[in-house]
Amino acid sequence: MIKILAITACTAGIAHTYIAREKLENAAKEMGDFIKVETQGSIGVENELKPEEIREADIILIAADIRVNKDRFMGKAVVEIPISMIMKSPKGVISKIHQKLGK
């Protein structure tokens, strides 16, 4: 079990952002991992990641087609992927993270 913090953001910021969030949450649940997903849609940031959560996270997963500010994640392990990867293969992404982290 790993602690994943994720951010999703798509171009229009109204659809993919939220679909990806759901997919990630379901995939992580199935694989027994903890996940919290912050969405950066057109409306702004929702479900914001808190500093103490970031401190405890094993990995920061950024699934975005647009720029996401990474200043908060100094010193953390960060993975950046296009959001389409989550649309196609949420579990594949998470298991690859497991493999890379060696957990």
Partner 1 sequence: MAGQKFNVKKHVMTGISYMIPIVVCGGILCALAKGFGGYNIGSAVEAGATPFSNLNPFTWSGFWWGVNKLGSVAMDFAVAVMTAGVAYSIAGRPGIVPGIVIGYCSAQSKAGFLGGLLMAFIIGAFVNWMKTWKLPKWCEGLMPVMIIPVISTFICGMIFLCLFAIPLSIIMNVFQKWIVSLNGGAKAVIGGVIGACMGFDMGGPVNKTASMAANALGADGIYGPMAAKIIGGMTPPIGIFIATLIKKNKFSKVELETAKTAFPMGLCFITEGVLPFAAADPVRVIPSCMIGSALAGAIAVGMGCESVAGHGGIFVVPMMKNPVWFLIALIAGSAVTGIIYGLLKKPGTEDGEEKETDLDIDLDIQIQ
Catalytic positions, written as ranges? 10
List the one residue from 29, 50, 100, 103 that touches partner 1 (CB under 8 A): 100
CA 68, chain centre distance (Å): 12
List the one residue from 5, 37, 57, 83 that touches partner 1 (CB under 8 A): 83
Enter the tokens of residue 21. 């969030």
Q: Which of residues 26-55 bind partner 1 (CB under 8 A)?
A: 42
Residue owning tokens 């500093």: 51
Nearest approach, Cβ of residue 6 and partner 1 (Å) = 13
Tell how strand 3-9 and strand 34-41 pair up. Answer: parallel
